[in-house]
Structure formats: structure tokens, C-alpha cells
């Protein structure tokens, strides 16, 4: 997958970074607190945690990440979080010491959340006495339940400690234990921010109309915007690289559709402008029953057809393109060239003609 990882400054997200700055500043002053960021995959939760890490001057970072493979393993995530602090273990009173040893150690013992919670709180506050702590817990929707119980317990008891805890989770999967903690739900980037993110990708040489269509289809999801280069502008769509799992999912839905519907989607995918008038003209040229096919593609949730054609995701567009056989793609570009006005859009027409000859 040609996903580009944006490693520079975050685009937009002023409210979120403001909340994070407030949280860490308060923690440094001894007023601890927690924040749960929720958002769909790709909305930028991990990017915000990373931002918190980079900007939390003077704080010691401890982190854990939920894992779907360790979801059934009691205290797996908590162990990750505590590992760098275990140097303080010998300072703990025997009962806390034992609770942690039984939670993390191989020795069988009561893995009792109500004993482990206070023990970890003790550990955390001892570590924080040396340096304020920033605890980042990513993919909290995959936390094992023992860890999420303890982490939620901690989050409710750090008000008097120099400790900030930030969780990131998917909306539906956020562990029930975290509900009730201060939360912030991430929606898509604004159109302006989405355009700015797209513009920061120097390799996407796209014209205005194409850019509008890309922003529309990505719905402000940063990951979808970053995946856009593989979803095509006026560059030949790459049909040889390995498709991402997202794209493969769209592709299997497309392949289950009747031939006419697939062909209509191929036409839509081959035209980077998303201009519906052009699509209808090309469909007529190819003898497709455009209205019925558009209705079927809409019903399948793959695309919407108004004055602009809008795929449900930029990668649905590339999936439609790749699902077609090379000869079919050539035929589709030929049809698009035939219906593109040579007087007003000579460049686009030439581009489609070139694709018709070679793609
Ligand atoms: N505000 C932003 N500005 C720039 N890039 C971003 C922004 N938000 C997310 N990204 C980038 O988008 C991609 C997906 O974000 P990520 O944080 O991994 O999403 P999530 O953790 O919510 O699934 C990453 O490559 C990330 O760097
Ligand atoms: Mg993430």
C-alpha cells in the first residue's frame, strides 16, 4: 500500500491540541487528569497521541497499546505501561508489591483488579514524584478487560497527581470502563484543512476539480486523504501494486455486481474529475443502462451520483479501476475521450486518448 505517513506538523485539530496542552500543563502543575479521544480509523487519534508526546516538555512518557492478539491476556496492556516504572517496585509496601507480582509474574495468584488498581496507583504516583508522567494508551478498544478496568480506576484517581492519561479508541469499541471519563470525539478535518493536507503531498499534482472530488470523497478522514495518491488524479492509476485491505474489501463488493454496474463504476473511476454529465455521456457511448446501473451502485453503498460522482471512499475508486480488465479500461478511456469536448478540455481528452492506447 502506498500510504504516505505524514510526519510533520498536524494540519488543523486546534481544539484537540489545545485540550491536550491544557491537560499536560495541569498535570505538570500537579493537577492530573485524563482524556479519551475517540474516532473512526484514520481520523488521527495516534497522530494526536504522537503530538502530545512531542509537546509534553519535561514529562516522562509511559505508554501502552491495546492489541487484538492480547485482548484475552489479563493485564497485558497494563504490563506494557508499568514496565519502565518497575524500578520503583521495591519501594512499595508488601501488599502492593505482591499484587503487582501476581498480576505480571508467572506465579499463579489472585489476579484481582481491586488489589492491582491501588498498587499501580501507588507505583504511578511514586514514579511521578521524580518527574510528571504522561501516559498514552493507544487502541484502547483492544485493551484486555483487566487492564482497562485498572486504567479507568487510575484515570479517576489522579486528580492530585502530576499525571496525565490520554486514551485513543474507536467509537464503537471504546471499553465500557472508559465511559464517563472526559472525552473528545474526532470528526473529519474541515474542507480547508483537508485541502491543506492534500497540498502538503507534493507528489499529488492534481487540478482543482480533481482536488474538490478527492476532498469530497475522503470526508475529512486524514488517512483517506493520504491514501489518495494511490487512488489517482491525472496520473495513470497504478494497477500493479498490491492493494490495501480496505481496497480489497471494496473490490470484492464490486466484483459481486452485474457487468453493467461494474462497467459504469469503471467509467466513474477512470474520470478523475467526477463530473456526472461526462459519466452519463460516456455511459451512453458504451450502451450502458446508466440510470439502473447507478441505482444499483448506490444501493450497494459504493458511490453516489449527483452532479458530482462520489465514491464512498477514495480506495473504492481505485478498486473499481483495478477490478476491470485492461481491455475494458482502454474501452472506457476511449469512451471518455470521445465525449470530452476537444474545444474546452483538449488536455483531458488527450489524456484519455493516451490511456485508451496504453493502459
Ligand atoms: N491532522 C493531521 N494532519 C496531518 N496528518 C494527519 C492528521 N491526522 C492524521 N494524520 C495522518 O493520517 C494518518 C492516519 O492517522 P492515525 O493517527 O494513524 O489515525 P487513527 O489512529 O485514528 O487510526 C497518519 O498517517 C497520520 O499521520
Ligand atoms: Mg491509531
13-57 residue pLDDT tens = 999 999 999 999 999 999 999 999 999 989 999 999 999 999 999
The grid cell for 271 is: 474520470
Strand partners, 35: 166
For residue 160, what is the DSSP state? T
Q: Which of 47, 63, 166, 173 is the pocket-test mutation for ligand 1 (most atoms within 8 Å of CB)?
A: 47
For residues 11 and 289, what is the distance between their CA atoms, to the nearest angstrom? Answer: 43
**Nearest 10 degrees: Cα torsion 296, 298, 303, 307:** 110
Question: Cα of 227 to ligand 2 centre, how many Å?
Answer: 15
For residues 290 and 78, what is the distance between their CA atoms, to the nearest angstrom? Answer: 56
Ligand 1: which residue has its CA nearest to atom 17?
44
For residue 70, what is the DSSP state? S
Ligand 1 atom with minimal separation from the 222 CA: 12
The grid cell for 45 is: 487519534
**Could you state, in order of their start, the residue ranges of all structural domains in the chain?**
14-185, 237-358
Neighbours of ion ligand 2 (CB under 5 A): 45-46
Number of H helices, E strands in the chain: 16, 7
Q: Which helix (H) or strand (E) holds 61?
A: strand 60-65
Question: At CA 165, angle to CA 133 and CA 84, rounded to 5?
Answer: 45
For the 14-185 domain, the top CATH level (class) is: alpha beta
pLDDT in tens, the chain (359 residues): 333 444 568 999 999 999 999 999 999 999 999 999 999 989 999 999 999 999 999 999 999 999 888 888 889 999 999 999 988 989 999 999 999 988 887 654 556 789 999 999 999 999 999 999 999 999 999 999 999 999 999 999 999 999 999 999 998 766 688 988 999 999 999 999 998 888 887 555 667 777 788 888 888 899 888 876 555 555 555 566 667 777 888 999 999 999 999 999 999 999 988 889 999 999 999 999 999 999 999 999 999 998 889 898 888 988 999 999 999 999 999 999 999 998 888 888 888 998 898 75
Q: Which helix (H) or strand (E) holds 169?
A: strand 163-169
Strand 303-305 and strand 309-311: pairing? Answer: antiparallel
Q: Which of 6, 168, 224 is the pocket-test mutation for ligand 1 (most atoms within 8 Å of CB)?
A: 6
Contact (Cβ atoms closer than 8 angstroms) between residue 186 and residue 43 = yes
Amino acid at each position: 500500500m502506498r500510504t504516505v505517513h505524514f510526519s510533520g506538523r498536524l494540519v488543523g485539530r486546534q481544539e484537540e491540541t489545545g485540550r491536550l496542552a491544557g491537560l499536560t500543563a495541569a498535570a505538570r502543575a500537579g493537577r492530573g487528569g485524563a482524556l479519551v479521544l475517540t474516532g473512526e480509523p484514520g481520523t488521527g487519534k495516534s497522530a494526536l497521541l504522537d503530538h502530545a508526546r512531542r509537546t509534553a516538555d519535561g514529562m516522562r512518557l509511559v505508554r501502552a497499546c491495546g492489541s487484538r492478539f492480547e485482548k484475552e491476556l489479563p493485564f497485558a496492556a497494563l504490563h506494557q505501561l508499568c514496565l519502565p516504572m518497575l524500578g520503583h517496585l521495591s519501594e512499595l509496601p508488601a501488599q502492593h508489591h505482591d499484587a503487582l507480582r501476581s498480576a505480571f509474574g508467572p506465579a499463579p495468584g489472585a489476579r484481582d483488579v481491586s488489589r492491582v488498581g491501588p498498587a499501580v496507583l501507588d507505583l504511578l504516583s511514586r514514579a511521578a514524584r521524580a518527574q510528571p508522567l504522561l501516559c498514552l494508551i493507544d487502541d484502547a478498544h483492544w485493551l484486555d478487560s483487566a487492564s482497562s478496568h485498572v486504567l479507568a480506576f487510575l484515570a479517576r484517581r489522579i486528580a492530585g497527581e502530576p499525571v496525565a492519561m490520554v486514551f485513543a479508541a474507536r467509537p464503537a469499541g471504546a471499553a465500557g470502563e472508559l465511559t464517563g471519563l472526559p472525552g473528545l470525539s474526532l470528526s473529519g478535518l474541515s474542507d480547508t484543512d483537508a485541502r491543506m493536507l492534500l497540498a502538503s503531498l507534493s507528489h499529488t499534482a492534481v487540478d482543482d476539480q480533481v482536488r474538490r472530488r478527492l476532498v469530497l470523497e475522503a470526508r475529512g478522514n486524514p488517512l483517506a486523504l493520504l491514501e489518495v495518491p494511490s487512488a489517482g488524479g491525472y496520473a495513470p492509476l497504478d494497477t500493479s501494486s498490491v492493494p490495501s485491505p480496505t481496497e480489497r474489501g471494496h473490490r470484492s463488493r464490486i466484483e459481486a455486481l452485474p457487468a453493467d454496474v461494474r462497467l459504469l463504476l469503471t467509467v466513474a473511476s477512470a474520470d478523475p474529475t467526477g463530473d456526472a454529465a461526462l459519466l452519463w455521456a460516456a455511459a451512453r457511448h458504451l450502451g450502458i443502462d446508466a440510470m439502473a446501473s447507478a441505482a444499483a451502485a448506490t444501493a450497494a453503498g459504493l458511490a453516489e451520483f449527483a452532479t458530482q460522482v462520489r465514491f464512498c471512499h477514495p480506495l473504492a475508486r481505485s478498486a473499481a479501476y483495478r477490478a476491470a480488465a485492461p481491455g475494458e479500461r482502454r474501452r472506457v478511456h476511449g469512451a471518455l475521450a470521445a465525449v470530452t469536448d476537444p474545444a474546452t478540455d483538449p488536455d483531458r481528452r488527450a489524456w484519455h486518448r493516451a490511456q485508451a492506447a496504453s493502459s
